[in-house]
Amino acid sequence: MALKGKIQENLKAALFAKNEVELSVLRLLISAVNAKETEKRTKIWKQKPELKTEELIKESQLQDGEILDAVSAEIKKRREAIELYEKGGRSELAEKEKKELAILQKYLPAQLPEEEIRKFVGEAIAKTEAKEMKDMGKVMQELMSKVKGKADSGLVSKIVKELLGA
């Protein structure tokens, strides 16, 4: 729960510093995390309806890896919005999204350089004996355990396609 606590502490700090952009981003992030916890709680409750409320809440708390998934999803939304705003000539909105993106990226582990991602992709292709694009799913499944949260999945996918000859 260390990551969720860090986000909540930063939310409080942004509130006291009256940093509106960071406050807004962190509120949305906490909301996304809470939604994932609610979803997890519902799933657990359906499997174990005999659990007491306190036990259910405790079991449904997200681990850092699951919180990183929420952070990554928010980052993906920002990247897509930036691209659309830039295409539409709305540079002021793209800049706002870039600021939000920078805030969210603070919660991700250090990102792997492209050369290292290429090395991991090559190893995954060799391990899965992938030869063509129809094998991409196997390669991505092998890769994601190694690079999850440490590399942009879009970049990983692009490199896999490139190395598989798409």
- Which amino acid belongs to residue 138? K
pLDDT at 104: 93
pTM of the model: 0.76
If we measure between CA atoms, which residue out of 113, 111, 143, 112 comes closest to residue 126? 143
Residue ranges of domains in the chain, CATH in brackets: 2-105 (1.10.1510.10), 114-164 (1.10.10.410)
Q: How far apart are CA 99 and CA 80, in angstroms?
A: 14
pLDDT, tens digit, 9 for 90 and up, residues 79-98: 999 999 999 999 999 999 99
pLDDT at 166: 60
pLDDT at 96: 94
**What does the pLDDT profile of the chain (166 residues) look like in tens digits?**
488 999 999 999 999 999 999 999 999 999 999 999 999 999 999 998 888 888 888 888 888 888 988 898 899 899 999 999 999 999 999 999 999 999 999 988 888 888 888 888 888 888 888 787 888 888 888 888 788 778 877 788 888 888 887 6
b (16+ CB within 10 A) / e for 42-52: eebeeeeeebe
pLDDT at 81: 95
Q: How far apart are CA 76 and CA 154, in angstroms?
A: 9
